[in-house]
Amino acid sequence: MARKIGSRYTAHQILGRGSAGTVWLGDGPEGPVAIKLLREDLASDQELVGRFVQERTALLGLDHPRVVGVRDLVVDGTDLALVMDLVRGTDLRTRLDRERRLAPEAAVAIAADVADGLAAAHAAGVVHRDVKPENILLDMEGPLGPGGAHPALLTDFGVAKLIDTPRRTRATKIIGTPDYLAPEIVEGLPPRAAVDIYALATVLYELLAGFTPFGGGHPGAVLRRHVTETVVPLPGIPEELWQLLVQCLAKAPASRLRASELSARLRDQLPLLAGMPPLDVDEPGTEDEEAAYPAYDEPQALSADEPRRRGAVPLVPGSAPDSNRDTHTSMRVPAPDELAGGARGTARAPRAAGQRRPGSARNKPDAVRRRRLVLGGAAVLVAAAIGVGGWLAATGEGQEPAPQDTEQSAPSQP
Ligand SMILES: Nc1ncnc2c1ncn2[C@@H]1O[C@H](COP(=O)(O)OP(=O)(O)OP(=O)(O)O)[C@@H](O)[C@H]1O
């Protein structure tokens, strides 16, 4: 079914859905495009529409081969749409779901591409703030690179910033995707370029291991781990690559590499990784923590036959009418002492494949595991939400900080 978007574009077929809306395959005066049609409740928010229009230049301004370009912004009646370059391929989450983990050479090649895109964005004064596999697209029509990896492009630049306004997101709600949230965000500091580096290092770890370094269990527990736990080595990972990951997952933002340096260091490693098979590691259990939390119901938005995705919190609060992912969980603000008190270990050390942890939650039926998932009292929620509350407060209109410790020079985003 075709649908007109403004006077210049026609949407033909749904490519995918996210928390902010639906992405369509469409065409316009210059050929095929991808059209991200924002959810109706967002599109009817006049303040939000105003922000998109105000940021039009910034949205349309990023021009880099590793960034999905935004070509146009359509505001038409109840429609608010971003018209983007069409990437023919898939998103990295889909590939990861299919393959579970990638060979190190391919994983590093993809991460280097994304780092290139980030370097360009940071130089232009833009922080992405939502780097995750869902926002990395693989261009299947592009030339094959190291490890047989297709070129990777980062998408959704600037959208998180526009949608996450204090008015839309009460300070009691946490915004973002917990697995990829840098500790300084959890602690309430404003997001600068280094948060993207942390998120990208998390993605690279996930590509190599099949799970994120601090993910698993209740979203609040995930946030707490970002702040209190150190990343545990992956069995079999080359030392230099491991050191790079450790540096970019540093708790202190200033200790992380800049995007251009990360890209160069990743590419330096590629020859050493050629032909290396995927790492053979087993996902750690979270049973100790799960036992500490009362029952937690899975988010409603996920349909029964859909594969479960990692716990995540919505970019936009509230149920998403056209969303079918469990990237839509809302969390309550934890009390300050909860975070501090939640620093107990979680026994999340990855094990070489085959090594079983006695009584691992991995061996429990899914429904049981789910019921035992977190919520409520314990540790985490607390500091997390307090931190993010501070972050939200700090990212109000006109308060977005210029990306610091980026490739400097460039003007900051208005
Ligand atoms: N420019 C594009 N070209 C081709 N496909 C795209 C493009 N942008 C997005 N898609 C597809 O649409 C899907 C949904 O994208 P969208 O950005 O709305 O959500 P998301 O990033 O997956 O999740 P969320 O918005 O919750 O962070 C993507 O996973 C991808 O498969």
Given pLDDT bands bounded at 50, 70 and 90, which one contains residue 207?
A: very high
Using the mean position of ligand 1's atoms as its centre, give its distance from the Cα of residue 135 in Å. Answer: 6
Give the mean pLDDT of 195-214: 97
- Report CA(21)–ligand 1 centroid distance (Å): 9
Highest mean pLDDT pick, 129-143, 305-319, 336-350? 129-143
Is 135 close to ligand 1, i.e. is its CB under 6 Å away?
Answer: yes
Residue 19 in contact with ligand 1 by CB distance below 6 A? yes
Is 193 a residue whose pLDDT tops 50? yes
Separation of CA 171 and ligand 1 centre (Å): 27
**Ligand 1: centre distance to CA 91 (Å):** 7
Give the tens place of pLDDT for each residue, 254-275.
999 999 999 999 999 999 999 9
Does the beta carbon of 323 lie inside 6 Å of ligand 1? no
Distance 347 CA to ligand 1 centre (A): 34
Kindly state if the Cβ of 164 falls inside 6 Å of ligand 1.
no
pLDDT at 102 > cutoff 70: yes
Catalytic site residue from 45, 79, 130, 156: 130
Q: Rg for the chain (alpha carbons), in Å?
A: 20
Nearest CA to ligand 1 atom 24: 18
Q: What is the mean pLDDT of residues 215-230?
A: 92
pLDDT above 70 (res 285): no
The residue whose CA is least distant from atom 19 of ligand 1 is 18
156 lines ligand 1 (CB under 6 A): yes
Beta carbon of 15 within 6 Å of any ligand 1 atom? yes
Residue 285 CA to ligand 1 centre (angstroms): 30
Query: With a 6 A CB cut-off, is 326 part of the ligand 1 pocket?
Result: no
Average pLDDT over residues 91-115: 97
Determine whether the shortest distance from the Cβ of 327 to ligand 1 is under 6 A: yes
- ipTM (interface predicted TM): 0.97
The reported pTM is 0.76
Ligand 1: residue whose CA is nearest its atom 11 = 16
Best residue among 82, 96, 155 to mutate for probing ligand 1, ranked by most atoms within 8 Å of CB = 155
Phi, psi of 54 (to 5 degrees): -60, -35
> What's the CA gap between 163 and 264, in Å, rounded?
32
Q: What is the pLDDT of residue 11?
A: 96
Ligand 1 atom closest to the CA of 85, numbered from 1: 1
Q: Which of 39, 137, 163 best tests ligand 1's pocket when mutated (most atoms within 8 Å of CB)? A: 137
Q: What is the mean pLDDT of residues 198-205?
A: 98
Residue 130 is a catalytic residue:
yes
Would you state the pLDDT for residue 334? 43
pLDDT of residue 339: 47
Question: CB burial class (10 A; 0-12, 13-18, 19+) of residue 298?
Answer: middle
Instruction: Tell me, using a 6 A CB cutoff, whether residue 139 lines ligand 1.
Output: no
